[in-house]
Structure 1
Amino acid sequence: MQSSSKFKTDPTYDILRSERQPLSSIFLPEAVAVIGASDSPGSVGRTLLWNLISNPFGGTVFPVNPKHHSVMGIKAYKNIAEVPEPVDLAVIATPASTVPGIVRQCVEAGVKSAVIISAGFKEIGEPGIELEQEILQEARKGKLRIIGPNCLGIMNPHTGLNATFASAIARPGKVGFISQSGALCTSILDWSLRENVGFSAFVSIGSMLDVGWGDLIYYLGDDPRTQSIVIYMESIGDARSFLSAAREVALTKPIIVIKAGRTEAAAKASASHTGALTGSDEVLDAAFRRSGVLRVTRISELFNMAEVLAKQPRPKGPRLTIITNAGGPGVLATDCLVSTGGELAELSSDTIAAGNEFLPPYWSRSNPIDILGDADPERYAKTLEIAAKDPHSDGFLVILTPQAMTDPTQTAERLKSCVEALHEQTLQGKPILASWMGGAEVMAGEAILNRASISTYPYPDSAARVFTYMWQYTYNLRGIYETPVLVEKWDKLPDRTFAEKLIETARQAGRTILTEMESKQILEAYGIPTVQVCVAATADEAVDCANSLGYPVVLKLLSKTITHKTDVGGVQLNLMDAKAVRWAYHAIKTSVTEKVGAEHFLGVTVQQMLNLNDGYELIVGSSLDPQFGPVLLFGAGGQLVEVFKDRAIALPPLNTTLARRMMEQTQIYKALKGVRGRSPVNLAAVEQLLVRFSQLVVEQRWIKEIDINPLFASTIKTSPDPIALDARIVLHPADVKSEELPKIAIRPYPTQYATPWTLKDGTQVIIRPIRPEDEPLAVQFHKTLSEQSVYFRYFNLVKLSQRIAHERLIRLCCIDYDREMALVAEYKNPTTNEREIIALGRLTKLHGLSESEFALLVSDKFQYQGLGTELLKRLLQVARNEHIKRITADILPENTAMQRTCEKAGFRLDRMPDLVKAEIDL
């Protein structure tokens, strides 16, 4: 049955139907087969078919049912092979046991995608899991993409496609909605129809056997009709795919998530300090921050945030100015604002003076700005005009409570006019929210404000919470896209070989716990300072160590089996002389022998006792999360670490910006900056230590758990670097194979692609992957380019100011190394002795395809030195390592040098009048 759709005449259709949009066959199919179509009233098969034929989407619908010649009056086919046209989308609603065979038939018939509605898979246990694996094996024999199983289906409201068994189709709009819960989908759909909320896509993703969060986020990110993405999540699935896609899309389209389910699985997985403090839900919060995703706690907030982030600019800071005609609602808004992480803007003296000129004598003269109950529309507008000029404010909330002299409708009209005038002057980057409190009498005013893109809320605390969410979204993105500082001594690589040998020696001995001395040696190999340690097997040796180090000292148990030394009496502090050291040695030996056995005592370590009053005890650690692999922990340390639970969690690897963001999540951070007359610690040194620590965790994958507790950060300026006083490392068990080691959720810096090379003229360079810290070097690189080089690269003369804009460069430098790889050639200028980037090559994977595009740019001064050819060869090797099947590029006809470079590398060239297509199969 043929149906029509006006959407086909829209230019968007051609963009989304491109072969480079692998999910286009799901959302924009031209032929749909309903496998399991039925005439039975109330059946899923009948509802699916009815929904597809009653909502014209511009394609043909083919019922498939071996037992019927027709379904609902439409010719039916016995199987997918008999369908007379190529099928883009198969919607499968048959018993679970039949689905693997149907998927096999779909692959053989060249079907591009499938939505499996059927239930009875992994949700029923092991038999269902085996069925899913059979389905996946069959799908992988072709290029079939699958949504589901056990899902409601998908809708494209703009085309009219309704491949679900829901009772109605969603309204068209600008929100892409994805849910793992089919039941929630139907509830949201009912709500949206009542509230007139529209969607660009409406997806029930089900079990995510194939198509996952990352695939759909990329598709909606490319969809011009989608302004924001809203997700109901129950499980993360492929963590790396989600984080990579979300991080790329979130900067241009807000992604708002509500995550159901909280678990203590990660906390129970480990007995270490760090393991006991991490938990999968906390880790999920950290993952969302790292990818720029906004997490909310209520379903209503999902769509509130989608609406307001589409209408209003993101605030640049947490400070809100509240304008109200009643004190109580202003106080309620303030309470919610402060408790959720926002701040009240402090009014400047100029703002107060301006307010005194026209506001009643009894106005508040502070924030919230109470303009009193008799406020008319002009007073509201004038107050907003004055407040908008205050540099201390990052956003505004206007509250109206209906009183005898209040005119909600006229106030809204006047506020609308005021905002339109101010936008040209002073409101750039400052959102305006409104709370028109009341029932029917304020509805007209609310409608006026909403049409003016001023989001309205019935309660002021709801509006305040929305503002803090907006600020949180800004904060998350800023953490990703701020330019970090290059870690000092970066060029001095860690001694990975030493660390690997030490770990391998312990593994060969059958040990999973390293001694304190071994643990500290690994920290030192990665540039993390540790307190000097002396090992003593006897009491006399302990005294000799103490005499050498100087008193007071600390004695700690030396053991290859004991996890926490304090639990067995294995630590003695503040020993002032040799007699105390001898006593401490025997006390530790006796205690360990009595509690766990003499075989666990190998001696003691002796180290100098620091004055902890001159700084702060911190903890830095790493443990495993079942979804995200290794995670990092930072917070207040010491013996009461589990009591205070002042910690922050982040995903490795870190740069200095991300390290600072991690520190900012803790309460101890306020003290580290200096408090009550105490000097601050060297925060830059702590940042750099966290970066090195994250590098250790990423590179030494046999480490299962690692703690530095305490890490001592001194407030004495003569001791600027934090120092590890104690360290503990636990390795994975011997029966774990290298391929079974947990995967890093965020791909680390690929050091394997960094190697030296020599230009034809003898100039020595390092070719390496780009890093976020390279933005300043990228600015200087673009200044060296001629107009011709710019034109050949970008196909037009892009202005320097545009090429070096922070918003552009940081996205080019701050890549995740999973979907993109950029190699730079760096050399040290002999005249200035400064590092410079002289060439850049980029490889970008196409969404959902095993295909990439490449681009090259070489500084004019270093062209014709073989550098472009070398970069391209290396990009090809990267592509092979990443299992890319094809690489393409577009080249201008006059750019003959790049064409020759491609031919030398084995590319085929397709020369057209205005473009040359380069292509190579790997």
Structure 2
Amino acid sequence: MRTDKAHDIMRTYHNPLKFMFAPQSVALIGATEKEGSVGRTLLWNLISNPFGGTVFPVNPKRKSILGIRAYPSLKDLPESVDLAIIATPAPTVPDLIRQCVETGVKGAIIISAGFKEIGAEGVKLEQEILKEAKKGNLRIIGPNCLGLICPTSGLNASFASTSPRLGNVGFISQSGAFCTSILDWSLRENLGFSAFISIGSMLDVNWGDLIYYLGDDPQTQSIVIYMESIGNARDFISAAREVALTKPIIVIKGGRTEAAARAAASHTGALTSSDEVLASAFRRCGVLQVDTISEIFNMAELLAKQPRPKGKRLTILTNAGGPGVLATDALTWGKGKLADLSEETMEKLDEILPPHWSRSNPIDILGDATPERYAQALEIASKDDHSDGLLVILTPQDMTDPTQTAEALLRVAQNIKDKPIIASWMGGSTVATGREILNRADIYTQSYPDDGARLFNLMWRYSNNLNALYETPSFAESEPLIDRPLASKIISHAQATGRSLLTEYESKQLLKAYGIPTVETRIALSAEEARAIALEIGFPVVLKLHSETVTHKTDVGGVQLNLRDEEAVINAFESIKNGVSENDFLGVTVQPMVDLTGYELILGSSDDPQFGSVLLFGAGGELVEVFKDQALGLPPLNTTLARRLIERTKIFKALQGVRGRKPVDIAQLEQILVLFSQLVIEQPLIKEIDINPLLANENQLISLDARVLLYPPDTKDIPRPAIRPYPIQYISHHTLKNGDRFTIRPIRPEDEPKIVNFCTALSEQSVYFRFFHSISRQSLISHERLARICFIDYDQEIALVACDEEEDIRAIARLSRIHGDLASAEIGLLIKDNYQHQGLGTVLTESMINIARQEGIKYLRADMLIDNHAMQNLCRKLGFELHSHDHLVQAILTIDDITP
């Protein structure tokens, strides 16, 4: 007998939140006939936009509303409903949510305002609502929202004055007023939507839930977001990272000028703001952030019509010099580049263009350009490998035919598949027909060429971000370099003595515990001891204040450099001691004087209340806050992400070698960033940490100074990382009955080459049993496919690989959460043919069950073909409940039924 929960899993597996967007029945609580009221508008929108379901008005004071029978309460309805819309005063809402749970309502939209936006009383109401909703797994959109509209199903569960057209853009807004403005604008611009959602205060359903839903929705081609606050950062990043691979996610952020609170004791904190952190998060998950409302929908249309560029090089084709110059300015100001025309391209253009053409990019084909000249020039320019995109500009001159030129371009454009084409037909009525021809054929048009160039810049940045996310990193073995017990000991000792600020000596020891090179540092309590250490180390030396209270030592004369003899050391000791109070002085540290030839860098981290630890890298030294040449990133990093972080700074060019200086070891710098990101994410008690300066030259990379600020021991709410780190707790070691030893560990991006070898050796039957269809060998090992296997979000799925003693992968098991159901997950298993039937599948599946238990997952699901008897036997042995459906078998396991 199938359990109710198993039935729910199978029903909702492919349709998270479907009951809110295409309900079979809707109850409107607060329905009324009062003119101009929210309750009347909601009811009218529901009944005048047929969605194929039943509407039940709920009002205890009326027997009918707008001619429809009304009911006193949810309990009086003749049937349970999928969706309840609540438009009553805020104090009444907790009891109404309780009734929703009692009567089996699946989802609720709370239109009502008067919650956390009014203060503590409203927050308390929200907590009551959430407590009641969780009792019945009731999903909630709102409160304080406009509602939602789903043109694909016909549902209008909003109090908007109009309904949007059907289209392919999924729109989510945190502002109801912004929704109504966009709705009016879209009708004028003939823009359609697949979903139109006012998300409100995000008490329950958040960005991540809706991004997953729209990502699974076949009608939605792109997702557009107006955001005021991120809410649950980890949920947003998890969903965006997954969906952005297949559908553009375009965000405009409101309130960007409001700076975050500065961390007074930290260089890093002083250099970051909430807007910069959010922009960094968007880059990390492949989201495109834009600055204007027009850019949102322009980019949604452009990305839907044209392929993404492979780089930043644009070829401009124009029949007038001025517009080409303006487009070039916009392109270069946005850090795009004009494509360098190849000699072959130049020669072919010479053959078809008049003698006086520009002979450079922009390609000015002159004001008398015919449609045929446009088409020939575009065809030649499109074949130049030095170009990543094309901007075609037409100005309506006397000898120009905008309509015929558009038609001629289409004949060429239909053969250009790998580069975006942007057309700028400048003018009004004279070019309107030509512009319409281009638009209907999916050639994106803009009235102004500089806007076209700006949109190309947005395109290549977006493409770069996506490519960087899934570029295979080089393998950097860090485990042998890390001494986690030592790091924990240093932090625990500081807290035990009531300190939140580590001494410089402790800070450097902490860095060393994570394999980060630091200058040799010793503590001297007296001038004589400092002299003796200096003699042992060798002159010249540096003396620095050793203090548990002073943050920036240079501000109090606490740093004495280039001390070349014993007398200088003694004098420096006394000077440092006399510069601070007795309570601030614990002695000095003595270090060798390092050759400062090279570049001073800063590497730091501070905590953001929403995103957790945020990394900073850039130009360092005493003027770090003046030059402000830094880039932000979210941990954890791999070598590719570290490289991208370094590349976003101006000093990166110098690090590659300039003016006769040899380059620094960028590969070692990448590894230092990777190790540093592990430090901040594995030691959550670190609130702020700076390495400044990190000296970089051709011979070495070494930390000269470091400071670490901890959270006080009684801190309760430490922000968690926005991106879950590699789960080292799930590494285990096993010996099979035949004596084979295996390490089972979570997969990592660096495993891609090993996965290629693993997939290459699989039989067709093993592939067919796992994926339910045949896959060509080339497709099986393509980077695009393997990126999805190796670059995973550990918050949403855990993939385990079984490695033999040579570190070759012999099996893969995967645990993936089901969208919209936090308590349920799907598992899959694939074992190399010659390692099947040896117990490895049992070990991996048992490991998955244990992980599911630790992750709070209660129900596991496995799908398999009906003739995959080995997998069925394995599931049956481990306690799964099997159900046959046509050619498939579905196995469901309730974790609570299994003894740990």
Class of the TM-score when normalised by the shorter of the 2 chains: over 0.9
Question: Secondary structure, in 3 states, of the residue corresponding to 1:281?
Answer: helix
Q: Equivalent residue for 1:288?
A: 282
Q: Equivalent residue for 1:505?
A: 493
Please state if 1:435 is matched with 2:419: no
CA contact (8 A) 2:357 2:363 kept: yes
Mapping of 1:148-297 within 5 angstroms? 148-262=142-256, 266-297=260-291
Instruction: State the shift of 1:371 in Å.
Output: 1.1
Please state if 1:320 is matched with 2:314: yes
Q: Equivalent residue for 1:624?
A: 607
One of 900, 905, 909 as aligned partner of 2:873: 900
Q: Equivalent residue for 2:586?
A: 602
Q: Equivalent residue for 2:342?
A: 348
Deviations 1:784-805, CA, capped at 9 Å, x for gaps: 2122222221223322211111
Please state if 1:709 is matched with 2:692: yes
Instruction: State the shift of 1:264 in Å.
Output: 5.5
Name the aligned partner's letter for residue 633 of structure 2: A
Instruction: State the shift of 1:15 in Å.
Output: 14
Instruction: State the shift of 1:428 in Å.
Output: 3.2
CA contact (8 A) 1:17 1:24 kept: no
Distance (Å, rounded) in 2 between the aligned partners of 1:823 and 1:655 = 19
Name the aligned partner's letter for residue 656 of structure 1: T
CA contact (8 A) 2:610 2:719 kept: no
Please state if 1:399 is matched with 2:393: yes
Instruction: State the shift of 1:103 in Å.
Output: 0.9
Instruction: State the shift of 1:366 in Å.
Output: 1.1
Q: Equivalent residue for 2:787?
A: 810
Q: Equivalent residue for 1:870?
A: 843
Instruction: State the shift of 1:826 in Å.
Output: 1.1
Distance (Å, rounded) in 2 between the aligned partners of 1:855 and 1:86 = 36
Mapping of 1:509-528 within 5 angstroms? 509-528=497-516
Q: Equivalent residue for 2:898?
A: none
Instruction: State the shift of 1:638 in Å.
Output: 0.5
CA contact (8 A) 2:546 2:587 kept: yes
Q: Equivalent residue for 1:736?
A: 715
Distance (Å, rounded) in 2 between the aligned partners of 1:391 and 1:325 = 23
Please state if 1:131 is matched with 2:131: no
Mapping of 1:869-888 within 5 angstroms? 869-888=842-861
Name the aligned partner's letter for residue 725 of structure 1: L
Deviations 1:594-633, CA, capped at 9 Å, x for gaps: xxx11111111111222222x2110000001121111100
CA contact (8 A) 1:16 1:24 kept: no
Name the aligned partner's letter for residue 130 of structure 2: L
Q: Equivalent residue for 1:781?
A: 758
Structure 2 residue runs of 5 or longer lacking an equivalent are 1-7, 896-900
Q: Equivalent residue for 2:544?
A: 556
Q: Equivalent residue for 1:460?
A: 449
Deviations 1:646-667, CA, capped at 9 Å, x for gaps: 0000111001111111111110
Distance (Å, rounded) in 2 between the aligned partners of 1:674 and 1:17 = 60
CA contact (8 A) 1:755 1:767 kept: yes
Q: 1:221 to 1:271 in 2, by over 3 A?
A: same
Distance (Å, rounded) in 2 between the aligned partners of 1:30 and 1:307 = 32
Mapping of 1:473-484 within 5 angstroms? 473-484=462-473
| 76-85 or 544-553, larger mean C-alpha shift | 544-553
One of 69, 73, 88 as aligned partner of 1:79: 73
Distance (Å, rounded) in 2 between the aligned partners of 1:86 and 1:146 = 17
Please state if 1:547 is matched with 2:531: no
Deviations 1:132-166, CA, capped at 9 Å, x for gaps: 11111111111211101111110011222111111
Name the aligned partner's letter for residue 816 of structure 2: T
Deviations 1:371-412, CA, capped at 9 Å, x for gaps: 111111111111111111111000000011111111111111
Name the aligned partner's letter for residue 426 of structure 2: M
Distance (Å, rounded) in 2 between the aligned partners of 1:267 and 1:354 = 59
Cα-Cα RMSD = 1.5
Q: 1:246 to 1:912 in 2, by over 3 A?
A: closer
One of 363, 370, 373 as aligned partner of 2:357: 363
Distance (Å, rounded) in 1 between the aligned partners of 2:430 and 2:135 = 63
Instruction: State the shift of 1:338 in Å.
Output: 1.2
Instruction: State the shift of 1:783 in Å.
Output: 1.6
Scaled by the length of structure 1, the TM-score of the pair is 0.95
CA contact (8 A) 1:494 1:526 kept: yes
CA contact (8 A) 2:324 2:362 kept: yes
Distance (Å, rounded) in 2 between the aligned partners of 1:783 and 1:484 = 21
Question: Secondary structure, in 3 states, of the residue corresponding to 1:314?
Answer: coil
Instruction: State the shift of 1:290 in Å.
Output: 0.4
Deviations 1:875-911, CA, capped at 9 Å, x for gaps: 0011111111111111223322222221221112224
Instruction: State the shift of 1:492 in Å.
Output: 1.6
Distance (Å, rounded) in 1 between the aligned partners of 2:276 and 2:210 = 24
Instruction: State the shift of 1:915 in Å.
Output: 2.5
Q: Equivalent residue for 1:891?
A: 864
Aligned residues: 887
One of 720, 723, 739 as aligned partner of 2:702: 723
Distance (Å, rounded) in 2 between the aligned partners of 1:16 and 1:784 = 33
Distance (Å, rounded) in 1 between the aligned partners of 2:791 and 2:80 = 42
Distance (Å, rounded) in 2 between the aligned partners of 1:794 and 1:18 = 21
Q: Equivalent residue for 1:857?
A: 830
Distance (Å, rounded) in 1 between the aligned partners of 2:665 and 2:53 = 65
Question: Secondary structure, in 3 states, of the residue corresponding to 1:744?
Answer: coil
Mapping of 1:609-648 within 5 angstroms? 609-613=593-597, 615-648=598-631
Q: Equivalent residue for 1:3?
A: none
Structure 1 residue runs of 5 or longer lacking an equivalent are 1-13, 830-834
Question: Secondary structure, in 3 states, of the residue corresponding to 2:579?
Answer: helix
| 690-699 or 603-612, larger mean C-alpha shift | 603-612
CA contact (8 A) 1:34 1:49 kept: yes
Instruction: State the shift of 1:414 in Å.
Output: 0.5
Mapping of 1:1-150 within 5 angstroms? 18=12, 20-150=14-144
Instruction: State the shift of 1:21 in Å.
Output: 2.2
Name the aligned partner's letter for residue 800 of structure 1: R
Please state if 1:537 is matched with 2:525: yes
Instruction: State the shift of 1:19 in Å.
Output: 5.5
Distance (Å, rounded) in 1 between the aligned partners of 2:187 and 2:607 = 43
Q: 1:95 to 1:848 in 2, by over 3 A?
A: same
Instruction: State the shift of 1:744 in Å.
Output: 0.8
Distance (Å, rounded) in 1 between the aligned partners of 2:366 and 2:561 = 63
Distance (Å, rounded) in 2 between the aligned partners of 1:357 and 1:914 = 63
Q: 1:444 to 1:651 in 2, by over 3 A?
A: same
Distance (Å, rounded) in 2 between the aligned partners of 1:493 and 1:247 = 30
Q: Equivalent residue for 2:3?
A: none
Q: Equivalent residue for 1:772?
A: 749
Distance (Å, rounded) in 1 between the aligned partners of 2:738 and 2:858 = 35
Distance (Å, rounded) in 2 between the aligned partners of 1:18 and 1:561 = 57
Distance (Å, rounded) in 2 between the aligned partners of 1:42 and 1:863 = 69
Question: Secondary structure, in 3 states, of the residue corresponding to 2:808?
Answer: strand
Q: 1:32 to 1:912 in 2, by over 3 A?
A: closer
Question: Secondary structure, in 3 states, of the residue corresponding to 1:828?
Answer: coil
Deviations 1:173-203, CA, capped at 9 Å, x for gaps: 0000000000010000000001100000000
Question: Secondary structure, in 3 states, of the residue corresponding to 1:61?
Answer: strand
CA contact (8 A) 2:880 2:893 kept: yes
One of 407, 412, 422 as aligned partner of 1:413: 407
